Chain A
Amino acid sequence: MEGEKLNTFIRLLQRVRKQPSQTFDLGLIVKELGSRVEVGEVFEEIKRTVNIERIVYDETIFDEDTIDKIVDTFQKNKWVFLEIKKDIGSFLLNQLKHLANHNFLQLIDYQGKDIFDMKMPENSRLVIFAERDFIENKISYPHFYRLFGPTLSLK
């Protein structure tokens, strides 16, 4: 794995705040077809630099639980490493878009509030890991790439 590229990727996520909204970006790591890089290896490499927790979004987890885990990780001021292994449901997609556009989670009737707003902490970020083939053929939302700032392609 190209360590220097990964370091720049993390640095861009840590530092860059887009003008004029001053929002941080979500990051995308794409495993290209034929790449031998393992997801665990990438996660461990990032973990050396930042405090990060891994969430696997697959058939065994529901959107609500994924959101709960993201909220919980943000409350601990940690980064989220979200490995996407199934098409993104509407509920999660909504929150990813909220995070990408406003750095906020906005949930209706959540934790006893009519509108629950949670700002992504200054020290937290969200990184999504997915395989190129999966993004292209399994993710039904056609503007998936638009959710992200820096993209790291792993060959």
Chain B
Amino acid sequence: MPNPETIRFKSQEELKEEEIERKIKERGREGEILGGIVFEEEKVVDPETKEEKTKRYIYIGNPYEERPIITKLETDASREEIEAIKREIIPMRESFEILEAMARTYKHRQPLLIEGSTAIGKTYLADKFTELLYGRGVKLLDFYCSGQTDVSELMAKWVPKVETEDEKKKWNEFLELAETQVKLSQIAQEVEQAERLSQEQKLALIHTRLQELAKSAGLSEKNQWRFQYGAVPKAMGLIRNSDGSFSFNEQKGMGFTLHIEEVGLAEPQVINALLKLRGKRGQLAEEIQIWENGGRKVKAGPKFWVFFSTNPPEEYLARNEVDPALARGVVFIRMGELSEESLRLAADYYFSYKLGEKPKEKPEGCILDIYNHPEIGREIAKVIAAFHNDLNKELKKGEKGRQQRIPLTLDDMARVADALIDTQVRNKETGLLDLTESLKKLIHFYYFDRLADQDLKETMKTNLNELLEGVTGKIEFEGKVLTRKEIFDILVERASITEEEKKRLEQEEIERKRRELEQAKHDAEDAIMSALQNPNIPKEIKERLREIKLE
């Protein structure tokens, strides 16, 4: 019995924390992750109106951790929506590492930068995180960087109001000149340095310079100009309307989530512009000044949050690490490769069709409803995960003489899985699904035809054939060592049996047993008859034998 002096009563808060942690770490019967994201409703009293309201919250934590850090966030989503979103997330360790980092940094208004390989699902999880906060189908603001990204796309620009196609053509041609970009940035710099001018004077200065620019582009000097904010100020001042549309208020907007992708590809001037987002104590800036608009400030609304993502430098040619200044100004997380365990888990989810709704009726082109046979899905998943991993290793070495990179993504597996539902090849001998040929055909479209290196293409084709039909691809299955093709054929044959055929086979089995019994009865009768006719068998035994009744 515990010493009463050491007994400690837990507070309601502590008990609640323990309950949430238990739910975060919840696992199913087979050890599968069920937690990670928990929805709760709480009654709160509005301090102003004193009215009781129900508020919705989500708790996000990494269920793989023994003591997960759990972040509580307010959400607009319903319980049903949260459950549906959860079902769309493959519960890989990496997914929860990313979601947990997103929740933590979002709560503290810190910009987050995740560097990780393409397959890790950064884009997809950013979408899901937005849905967790705002509800199903709500899309974040996405901006993709490339070497050609211009600062004006992110920050702001002036666009002339051109009337004719000819003027539009002239202006666009003018804009594409490097010299024009220099002139435009010079105008912004001139305004930035004109500290003594009022905002109106700065705007007047900009207009004068723009008219000069228009003249040099061959446009009328009296041209009208329209100011256009870029993705960053827009996200800072966005307002989500009740009908799902967006409006913008540079001073009173609520702000929204902005995902800046592939930031590793951006040129230094773009990174410099993004550094404006750094605020105090590692948080996002509360406002930014846009010099292109005479130095007007745009306020960051309370829901403004920026998530940067990039791929590791080895996935880009001639690219360095993330800019150190940017890395210092954000919460920077460098993810490793997707583990083989996670890759297998993802393949299992895709080929067991756990992530979406299965077809209610067999679609056209579907020979076997493999989506209803997880035992087949599990075997396909093993093959695809092994092939994907093998090809990924080859691609990491770089293809011979090629500029483009092909990092494999989980989408490639998802595509094969979905296509396999109704793009199936029939085995002409058996009339059943030829799973091996169907897979080969789809892998061709989704993996092989992207490869430019013909030698690698041939090597991978040979490897795939070996994996499916060769000796080295053999594995143990139900006590026998078989090729994957043989395993597929067995599983397909079993799964192809229809209900009618099943009944017919059961009936045949009953009939077979009846015949065996009948035969056994006749054999016994013959044995008794033979014994009765045998003079060497004693009389008493023969009488006993006559008493036996065979039924």
Interface residues of A (CB under 8 A from B): 8-9, 11-12, 15-22, 25, 28, 30, 62, 64, 87, 89-91, 93-94, 97-98, 101-102, 104, 106, 108-109, 113-115, 117, 132, 135-137, 139-146, 148-153
Q: Which of B400-445 contact A (CB under 8 A)?
A: 402-407, 409, 411, 414-415, 417-419, 422-423, 441, 445
B136 to chain A, nearest CB (A): 12
Q: Which of B506-546 contact A (CB under 8 A)?
A: none
B405–A142 CB distance below 8 A: yes
- List A contacts of B403 (CB < 8 A): 136-137, 139, 142
Q: What are 28 A-B contacts defined by CB distance under 8 Å?
A: A15-B363, A17-B356, A19-B353, A19-B417, A20-B355, A20-B414, A21-B124, A62-B169, A90-B149, A90-B153, A93-B148, A94-B144, A94-B153, A97-B142, A98-B144, A101-B123, A108-B228, A108-B230, A108-B231, A115-B238, A136-B452, A141-B146, A143-B118, A143-B311, A146-B118, A149-B411, A150-B446, A153-B449
Interface SS of chain A: helix, strand, loop or mixed?
mixed
Residue of chain A at shortest CB distance from B173? A62
A30 to B127: give the CA distance in the assembly, Å: 31
**Quick one: given A18-B411, A62-B172, A106-B142, are A151 and B148 in contact (CB under 8 Å)?**
no
Binds A, one of B35-43, B210-218, B242-250, B287-295: B242-250
Residue of chain A at shortest CB distance from B169? A62
B148–A132 CB distance below 8 A: no
B418–A8 CB distance below 8 A: no
**Quick one: given A12-B423, A108-B229, are A94 and B449 in contact (CB under 8 Å)?**
no
- List B contacts of A62 (CB < 8 A): 169, 172
Residue of chain B at shortest CB distance from A15? B422
Tell whether B150 is near chain A: CB-to-CB under 8 Å. yes
A102 to B419: give the CA distance in the assembly, Å: 19
**Quick one: given A64-B172, A89-B148, A115-B246, are A19 and B445 in contact (CB under 8 Å)?**
no
A152 to B450: give the CA distance in the assembly, Å: 8
**Quick one: given A143-B118, A146-B409, are A19 and B147 in contact (CB under 8 Å)?**
no
Which of B123, B143, B441, B445 has the most A CB atoms < 10 Å from its CB? B445
- List A contacts of B363 (CB < 8 A): 15
B441–A19 CB distance below 8 A: no
Interface SS of chain B: helix, strand, loop or mixed?
mixed
Tell whether B234 is near chain A: CB-to-CB under 8 Å. yes
Tell whether B308 is near chain A: CB-to-CB under 8 Å. no
A137 to B353: give the CA distance in the assembly, Å: 39
A132 to B231: give the CA distance in the assembly, Å: 33
A62 to B423: give the CA distance in the assembly, Å: 38
**Quick one: given A106-B141, A151-B450, are A19 and B414 in contact (CB under 8 Å)?**
yes
A20 to B415: give the CA distance in the assembly, Å: 10
Partner of B404, one of A25, A89, A135: A135
A83 to B77: give the CA distance in the assembly, Å: 42
- List A contacts of B414 (CB < 8 A): 18-20
**Quick one: given A19-B356, A64-B172, A151-B450, are A94 and B246 in contact (CB under 8 Å)?**
no
A11 to B229: give the CA distance in the assembly, Å: 41
B283 to chain A, nearest CB (A): 25
A17 to B356: give the CA distance in the assembly, Å: 10
A116 to B247: give the CA distance in the assembly, Å: 10
Partner of A149, one of B124, B147, B402, B415: B415
A119 to chain B, nearest CB (A): 10
A145–B406 CB distance below 8 A: yes
- List A contacts of B134 (CB < 8 A): none
A101 to B403: give the CA distance in the assembly, Å: 23
A23 to chain B, nearest CB (A): 9
**Quick one: given A114-B246, A132-B452, A136-B403, are A102 and B139 in contact (CB under 8 Å)?**
yes
A28 to B169: give the CA distance in the assembly, Å: 29
A146–B139 CB distance below 8 A: no
A11–B423 CB distance below 8 A: yes
B229–A12 CB distance below 8 A: no
A145 to B87: give the CA distance in the assembly, Å: 29
Tell whether B65 is near chain A: CB-to-CB under 8 Å. no
A63 to chain B, nearest CB (A): 9
Residue of chain B at shortest CB distance from A18? B414
B127–A20 CB distance below 8 A: no
A148 to B124: give the CA distance in the assembly, Å: 16
**Quick one: given A115-B234, A146-B409, A152-B445, are A16 and B146 in contact (CB under 8 Å)?**
no
- List B contacts of A64 (CB < 8 A): 172
**Quick one: given A19-B353, A132-B452, are A114 and B418 in contact (CB under 8 Å)?**
no
